[in-house]
Structure 1
Amino acid sequence: MGKIALAAKITHVPSLYLSEQDGPRKGTRQDAIDGLREIGRRCRDLGVDTIVVFDTHWLVNADYHINCAPHFKGLYTSNELPHFISNMDYEFPGNPQLGRLLAQAANQLGVTTQAHDATSLGPEYGTLVPMRYMNDDGHFKVISVSALCMAHYLNDSARLGWAIRRAIDDEYDGTVAILASGSLSHRFAQNGQAPDFAFKIWSPFLEQLDRQVIRMWQAAEWEAFCGMLPEYASKGHGEGFMHDTAMLLGALGWSAYDGQAEVLTPYFAASGTGQLNAVFPVTPQDGRAIPTAQASADHSGLALTSRL
């Protein structure tokens, strides 16, 4: 039997990479980099062998997808922000065995999922940026899970998270960390105004909404948060419609989860968006509060049922 030893919601803003470069932005994201490095250090101390990243920069239009190639290596330039991330090198091992187990468990739970172990598909920067600081020596194997889900129910993303928990606990001989790689509010500054919002949230409403959510996480108000997640994802401009967050909470027990979030990197702004690094204690769960496979959802696909 395996275990999930660490779970976290993390930032992947490309200004982290820019913060390494000489120039006016050098050092400006050091606190976020330090937070990611601390999560990597904790993973090493806990004996983690594989990191599973729910990547809100991997866009998919049908099914869920798991990139579990045996090895990843290359140079990455962001097609979204090539002036922030250009020719960033990466290399780390994958874990085809675990990736196939995760997909099998999800399919058995009724969540259509495909594992890709013989593929030329490279990871997106929601995986690559955090791994740069958590896994620069390739110590951990890495699996990337699609979390920019364009035609998917949040219910199914939560159930995918629970399937991942079950597969690791029941079938995997190893220790895993799971990371929801995405922001809180994700309303980018309007074109031409990005420099003015490099260190500001786009609106006071979004900042207050984000701060209230963080307070709820720290107070373990999970039933209330899970109930508001669909509207938060929509009205709060959640990155990737917050499917990464649904996956993370599904793995942790959904509204029955009882852990209190530990904020490592306090809330900060990046190009109008709200960011943080936070660790979620992994507590025993029996899955009774995982959302049902048949969603009582409106046409937006965002509404969630709260219990089985």
Structure 2
Amino acid sequence: MSRVFHLTPPGERARTEQPAPAPVPEEPRAGIVAGYLAPHPPHLIYADNPPQNEPRSTGGWEVLRWAYDEVRRRIRDLKPDVLVVHAPHWITMVGHHVNCVPNPRGVSVEPIFPNLFRYHFDFRTDVELAEAMVSSFEEHGLVTRAMREPGVRVDYATIGALHMANPRWDIPVVSISANNNPYFYADAELEQMDVLGTATRVAIERTGRRAVLLASNSLSHLHFDRETELPEDMGREYAYNNDQYRADMKLLEVVRSRPSSALRTAIPEHIEASEAETKSGSLSWLLSALDWPDTTGDILGYGTIIGTGNAVVEWLPDGSRRG
């Protein structure tokens, strides 16, 4: 009985009831924290009706835009220092260029769809990282140039991916060109994108940045040559043809079911089977920068835009998990 009704002395009670010290939060890990396949068709910004874009729409392409809503949420959770984008419509015939202009400002106009995309851009470049990329690219044997012209006109593929991923534009940016001299004609030079991805990762780690990467690629890229009276008429939106659609589905089946290393062969096969924008190298660059993680991709959405196939996909580095 004495043991049952034993009272702990006040001083001892105070000692035993002290709360455990709160765990010290870990410092956020530097390096690439996520990569997204982030297609850029101007129709997505047009349908979003942001204040920066002059044309107004009634909506459209909702499934892809909802996928980007999820990308935005995930990027917010990741708290990156910088967004790095490789875009197929900043075409440089000689070498890989990096935008090192501190505050690009101006109007970006899509040359085929000026009725949909006249976008007023104003963003900050992470110049330290951009310059580090120039150095790293050169060290890895790539022909490289730094873009330092203050009046640089930013292409719509760069703007499209960045806006759809972060319409607040409150995260600094680094943008990389597509050296389309080899990539436009063949997939043989995709191996060079492996080098570009590795060099990108080295620069990010050297500067201690937490980076999210955006590959601004569509998949199949045959598109209709006539626009409907109402561009956002979803009753007229479908794949260009069944061959293009099936090629996209074959590639995405690999994305969703196999580690990213399987895409080393699946991407060239997709290029051979379809008129593919992945030929410009953005997706290969992204996966190489992530070091071809031993994970599947998380497909957030797929849809066609004027017949082209577009997928929004997330890859995380090895060892990372989506909560």
Please classify the TM superposition score into its range, dividing by the shorter chain length. Answer: 0.7 to 0.9
Cα pair distance change 1:129/1:204, threshold 3 Å: same
2-structure distance, mates of 1:198, 1:58: 29
Q: Are 1:57 and 1:240, in contact at CA under 8 Å, matched by a contact in 2?
A: no
Aligned partner of residue 151 in structure 1, secondary structure: helix
- Deviation of 1:23 (Å): 10
Match of 1:289 in 2: none
> What number of residue pairs does the alignment pair up?
279
Q: Percent sequence identity over matched residues?
A: 24
Q: Are 1:51 and 1:178, in contact at CA under 8 Å, matched by a contact in 2?
A: yes
2-structure distance, mates of 1:106, 1:24: 40
- Deviation of 1:148 (Å): 5.7
Match of 1:246 in 2: 284
1-structure distance, mates of 2:284, 2:125: 24
Cα pair distance change 1:148/1:192, threshold 3 Å: farther
2-structure distance, mates of 1:23, 1:109: 43
Match of 1:116 in 2: 147
The worse-fitting range, judged by mean Cα deviation, of 123-132 and 155-164 is: 123-132
Matched, 1:203 2:235: no
Using structure 1 for the length normalisation, give the TM-score: 0.82
One-letter identity of the residue aligned with 1:111: L
Using structure 2 for the length normalisation, give the TM-score: 0.79
Question: Runs of 5+ in structure 1 lacking a partner?
Answer: 285-308
Q: Are 2:96 and 2:179, in contact at CA under 8 Å, matched by a contact in 1?
A: no
- Deviation of 1:250 (Å): 1.1
Q: CA RMSD in A?
A: 2.5
Match of 2:35 in 1: 7
Aligned partner of residue 211 in structure 2, secondary structure: strand
2-structure distance, mates of 1:161, 1:198: 38
Q: Are 1:90 and 1:132, in contact at CA under 8 Å, matched by a contact in 2?
A: no
1-structure distance, mates of 2:163, 2:45: 9
Describe how 1:58-69 pairs up with structure 2 within 5 A.
Answer: 58-69=90-101
Matched, 1:163 2:208: no
- Deviation of 1:234 (Å): 4.0
- Deviation of 1:240 (Å): 5.6
Match of 2:226 in 1: 192
Aligned partner of residue 7 in structure 1, secondary structure: strand
1-structure distance, mates of 2:98, 2:298: 28
Q: Are 2:107 and 2:153, in contact at CA under 8 Å, matched by a contact in 1?
A: no
2-structure distance, mates of 1:208, 1:235: 9
2-structure distance, mates of 1:130, 1:279: 14
Q: Are 2:108 and 2:154, in contact at CA under 8 Å, matched by a contact in 1?
A: no
The worse-fitting range, judged by mean Cα deviation, of 115-124 and 11-20 is: 115-124
Aligned partner of residue 276 in structure 1, secondary structure: strand
Q: Are 1:57 and 1:148, in contact at CA under 8 Å, matched by a contact in 2?
A: no
